[in-house]
A and B are shown apart, each in its own frame.
Chain A
Amino acid sequence: MSRVKNKIIIILLLIPVWIIVYKYMQEMADFIIFRVFQMTPGKHLTETIRFFIYEVPKVMMLLVLIIFIVGVIRTYFSPEKTRKALEGKPLFVGNVLASVLGILTPFCSCSAIPLFLGFVEAGIPLGVTFSFLIAAPMINEVALVLLIGLFGWKVALIYVLTGLSIAIMAGFILEKLNLKRYVADWVYETHAKQTLEQDNSLTFNQRISSGGVVVREIVGKIWIYILIGIAVGAGAHGFVPDEYLAGALGSQNWYSVPLAILVGIPLYSNAAGIIPIVSVLIEKGVTLGTALAFMMSVIGLSLPEIIILKKVLKWQLIGVFIGVVAIGIVIVGVIFNYVLNF
């Protein structure tokens, strides 16, 4: 038992250390660049390395903290509980709830099919299920971390809220379109032989360790993408002239948002690789609306996920699904480019 207690004490001690290191990150990076390596300020290479040395530890630290917190919170949720919460909810309420739970429920796109079937079997409307399946990959903790780290919490909040709106509205519209006949026929013939009793009563200590496990698992998987993403971003930060992309992808062109989405769908990357690059796109003149749209289509509408869903949905439904979500993303992008003029 004393070992378990130690765990919490260690975490409590780590928090102030974390805050101090995070706060003085820029000073430390500058110290290394200008004092230790004696590099000349303003040069392309200096700015590139400075960006890299500052961003990598910053993003990694945020990643560990936020994934840990989200990991602990998620131990209170499970797809089984979410399904129960969604059963029998009226349409719009169901969409809202499904989208919010999509963020909080532990979900891996490889489980998309069993989850879809489980929802369908419980009689949860198709549109509500879609709200979940749109929100779950699009708004994830890694995206959140990188957005906070590279753009600040305001942009992160905007991303979450607009992502939620798309998930809610797209799910609602998909339900109204009454597309049940485009679900693969065997889906409605699948029945569970047994019910699964779940024992989710964990102690707080177990939740803490579970958060630690999630951090190791996720950071272990994505650190390389983050390094590559930030390296590409750092290169562009130092060497590509500012406003370089303002012409093609700036707000002046009506087609910039749809173009960003079309480019984004076949690109498969997790949030880890794409967001550092997006942050540089913005720096080089791409407007926030276009960048958000690009990011959402890369993370939320990905080809591998569509291929997975193809097992349970006929192509007509996949087409409508992509269409509705893409239109939602276009609307968000255009609103940011023209109305809010960020």
Chain B
Amino acid sequence: MEIKILGTGCARCKSLEKITRKAVEELNLDANVVKVEDIQRIMEYAVMRTPALVIDEKVVLSGQVPKVVKIKDLLTQNMQTYENI
């Protein structure tokens, strides 16, 4: 599983990264969490609000810093589709 946090380095981006890492840890996922700070690469995902969360190249969240539970939900939802493929 490839997880990307898109954000130019603002405070909210950092907290999304922290929350996501926590969710990954709590779910015991075999996932790679990467922070993408380069604006041109961020724009490839067509997000207009940072921070954004990308799971396996799909934008699942933008402009929000939700609670850990929500991230866990998103991770498990997208994990299932991933494994079916």
Chain A residues with CB under 8 Å of chain B are 78-80, 83, 106, 108, 110-111, 113-115, 117-118, 121, 186, 190-196, 311
Contacts and interface: CB of A to CB of B under 8 A. Distances in A.
A304 to B, nearest CB: 11
A248 to B, nearest CB: 38
Given A106-B63, A191-B43, A193-B46, 18 more contacts: A78-B49, A78-B63, A79-B63, A80-B48, A108-B10, A108-B12, A108-B63, A110-B12, A114-B43, A117-B39, A117-B43, A118-B46, A118-B48, A192-B44, A193-B44, A194-B45, A194-B46, A196-B45
Given A196-B62, A311-B39, A114 B48 contact: yes
A113 B44 contact: no
B40 A195 contact: no
A232 B48 CA distance: 38
B46 A110 contact: no
Given A190-B40, A311-B39, A114 B59 contact: no
A60 to B, nearest CB: 23
Residue from B10, B11, B13, B43 whose CB has the most chain A CB atoms within 10 Å:
B43
7 contacts: A78-B49, A79-B63, A108-B63, A110-B8, A115-B49, A117-B39, A118-B48
Nearest to B42: A114
Interface string B49-66: 110000001010011000
Interface residues of B, number: 20
Interface of B: 8, 10-13, 39-40, 42-50, 57, 59, 62-63
A313 to B, nearest CB: 13
A115 B46 contact: no
Contact of A113 (B12, B13, B39, B62): B39
A106 B10 CA distance: 16
Nearest to A194: B46
A307 to B, nearest CB: 12
A79 B64 CA distance: 13
B63 to A, nearest CB: 7
A111 B40 contact: no
Given A110-B8, A196-B62, A190 B43 contact: yes
Contacts of B40: 186, 190
Nearest to B13: A110
A111 B39 CA distance: 11
A117 B43 CA distance: 8
A115 to B, nearest CB: 5
Contact of A114 (B11, B12, B39, B57): B39
